[in-house]
Protein backbone atom coordinates (compact mmCIF):
# COMPACT_ATOMS: atom_id res chain seq x y z
CA UNK A 1 0.00 0.00 0.00
CA UNK A 2 1.88 2.97 -1.32
CA UNK A 3 -0.26 5.51 0.45
CA UNK A 4 0.58 4.15 3.90
CA UNK A 5 4.29 4.13 3.07
CA UNK A 6 4.11 7.72 2.03
CA UNK A 7 2.43 8.62 5.26
CA UNK A 8 5.54 7.39 7.11
CA UNK A 9 3.28 5.98 9.77
CA UNK A 10 5.52 3.05 10.62
CA UNK A 11 8.51 5.32 10.97
CA UNK A 12 6.60 7.60 13.31
CA UNK A 13 5.46 4.54 15.22
CA UNK A 14 9.04 3.37 15.63
CA UNK A 15 10.10 6.76 16.84
CA UNK A 16 7.25 6.77 19.36
CA UNK A 17 8.35 3.35 20.57
CA UNK A 18 11.89 4.63 20.93
CA UNK A 19 10.83 7.62 23.02
CA UNK A 20 8.75 5.40 25.31
CA UNK A 21 11.67 3.03 25.84
CA UNK A 22 14.00 5.92 26.43
CA UNK A 23 11.57 7.27 28.98
CA UNK A 24 11.84 3.97 30.83
CA UNK A 25 15.61 4.16 30.84
CA UNK A 26 15.61 7.76 32.08
CA UNK A 27 13.06 6.75 34.71
CA UNK A 28 15.43 4.02 35.89
CA UNK A 29 18.29 6.50 36.08
CA UNK A 30 16.22 8.94 38.10
CA UNK A 31 14.99 6.19 40.43
CA UNK A 32 18.62 5.32 41.13
CA UNK A 33 19.99 8.82 41.49
CA UNK A 34 21.04 7.95 45.05
CA UNK A 35 21.84 4.26 44.68
CA UNK A 36 25.49 3.42 45.35
CA UNK A 37 27.24 1.76 42.41
CA UNK A 38 24.54 2.50 39.87
CA UNK A 39 25.70 3.60 36.41
CA UNK A 40 23.68 5.82 34.07
CA UNK A 41 22.08 4.08 31.10
CA UNK A 42 20.94 5.44 27.80
CA UNK A 43 19.35 4.40 24.56
CA UNK A 44 20.84 5.59 21.29
CA UNK A 45 18.35 6.18 18.51
CA UNK A 46 20.80 5.35 15.73
CA UNK A 47 21.66 2.05 17.32
CA UNK A 48 18.02 1.40 18.02
CA UNK A 49 17.07 1.92 14.36
CA UNK A 50 19.97 -0.22 13.25
CA UNK A 51 18.86 -3.15 15.34
CA UNK A 52 15.23 -2.67 14.35
CA UNK A 53 16.24 -2.85 10.70
CA UNK A 54 18.25 -6.00 11.26
CA UNK A 55 15.23 -7.57 12.90
CA UNK A 56 13.48 -7.06 9.58
CA UNK A 57 9.93 -7.74 8.68
CA UNK A 58 7.68 -10.10 10.59
CA UNK A 59 6.01 -11.36 7.43
CA UNK A 60 7.68 -13.26 4.64
CA UNK A 61 6.86 -12.10 1.15
CA UNK A 62 6.41 -15.25 -0.91
CA UNK A 63 4.68 -13.70 -3.87
CA UNK A 64 5.30 -10.54 -5.83
CA UNK A 65 1.85 -9.28 -5.07
CA UNK A 66 2.00 -9.97 -1.36
CA UNK A 67 2.05 -7.00 0.87
CA UNK A 68 5.18 -6.55 2.82
CA UNK A 69 4.63 -6.64 6.55
CA UNK A 70 5.56 -3.72 8.70
CA UNK A 71 8.97 -4.10 10.32
CA UNK A 72 8.75 -5.59 13.79
CA UNK A 73 9.40 -3.25 16.59
CA UNK A 74 12.59 -4.00 18.40
CA UNK A 75 12.01 -6.46 21.18
CA UNK A 76 15.13 -5.82 23.13
CA UNK A 77 16.50 -2.30 23.09
CA UNK A 78 20.22 -1.71 23.22
CA UNK A 79 20.80 -0.10 26.55
CA UNK A 80 24.27 1.27 27.06
CA UNK A 81 25.92 2.12 30.28
CA UNK A 82 27.20 5.66 30.19
CA UNK A 83 30.74 5.85 31.46
CA UNK A 84 31.25 9.58 31.26
CA UNK A 85 30.41 11.93 34.06
CA UNK A 86 32.01 12.13 37.43
CA UNK A 87 31.81 9.22 39.79
CA UNK A 88 30.93 10.18 43.31
CA UNK A 89 32.22 8.46 46.44
CA UNK A 90 29.36 6.02 46.06
CA UNK A 91 30.46 5.06 42.51
CA UNK A 92 27.24 6.46 41.09
CA UNK A 93 27.46 8.62 37.98
CA UNK A 94 23.84 9.73 37.60
CA UNK A 95 23.73 13.43 36.78
CA UNK A 96 20.37 14.76 37.95
CA UNK A 97 20.40 17.81 35.66
CA UNK A 98 21.36 15.77 32.62
CA UNK A 99 18.58 13.29 33.25
CA UNK A 100 16.00 16.03 33.83
CA UNK A 101 17.03 17.71 30.56
CA UNK A 102 16.71 14.44 28.70
CA UNK A 103 13.38 13.78 30.33
CA UNK A 104 12.02 17.10 29.07
CA UNK A 105 13.54 16.65 25.60
CA UNK A 106 12.24 13.13 25.32
CA UNK A 107 8.71 14.14 26.26
CA UNK A 108 8.79 16.93 23.66
CA UNK A 109 10.02 14.51 21.03
CA UNK A 110 7.21 12.16 21.92
CA UNK A 111 4.62 14.95 21.68
CA UNK A 112 5.99 16.07 18.34
CA UNK A 113 5.81 12.57 16.92
CA UNK A 114 2.34 12.04 18.37
CA UNK A 115 1.19 15.30 16.79
CA UNK A 116 2.68 14.26 13.46
CA UNK A 117 0.94 10.90 13.70
CA UNK A 118 -2.41 12.57 14.35
CA UNK A 119 -1.92 14.98 11.46
CA UNK A 120 -1.17 12.10 9.12
CA UNK A 121 -4.19 10.20 10.32
CA UNK A 122 -6.41 13.21 9.79
CA UNK A 123 -5.01 13.63 6.30
CA UNK A 124 -5.74 9.99 5.54
CA UNK A 125 -9.21 10.31 6.92
CA UNK A 126 -10.05 13.34 4.83
CA UNK A 127 -8.65 11.60 1.74
CA UNK A 128 -10.90 8.65 2.42
CA UNK A 129 -13.93 10.82 2.89
CA UNK A 130 -13.00 12.98 -0.04
CA UNK A 131 -12.31 16.17 1.84
Partner 1 sequence: MNGMFSAMDVSGSALTAQRKRLELLVTNLANSETTRTAEGGPYRRKDVVMVSRPFRSFYDHFVETTSRNRLEGVEIRQVVTDDSPPLLRYEPNHPDADVDGYVAYPNVNPMKEMADLLMATRAFEANVRAFESIRTMVARSIELGRTR
Residues near partner 1 (CB under 8 A) are 16, 19-21, 23-28, 30-38, 41, 75-79, 96, 99-100, 103, 106-107, 110-111, 114, 117-118, 121-122, 125
Choice between 53 and 122, CB closer to partner 1: 122
Backbone angles phi, psi at 71, to 5 degrees: -60, 140
Burial of 44 (0-12, 13-18, 19+ CB in 10 A): middle
Alpha-carbon distance of 61 to 33, in angstroms, equals 47
Q: How far is the CB of 94 from partner 1 (least distance, A)?
A: 10
Choice between 68 and 111, CB closer to partner 1: 111
Q: How far is the CB of 2 from partner 1 (least distance, A)?
A: 21
| CA-to-CA separations, 121 to 3, 18, 42, 115, 124, in angstroms, rounded | 12, 20, 31, 10, 5
Q: How far is the CB of 35 from partner 1 (least distance, A)?
A: 5
Choice between 32 and 49, CB closer to partner 1: 32
Amino acid sequence: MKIFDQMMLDRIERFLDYTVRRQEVIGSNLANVETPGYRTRDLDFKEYLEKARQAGSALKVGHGRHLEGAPVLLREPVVRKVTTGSLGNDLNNVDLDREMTRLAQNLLRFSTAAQLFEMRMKLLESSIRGG
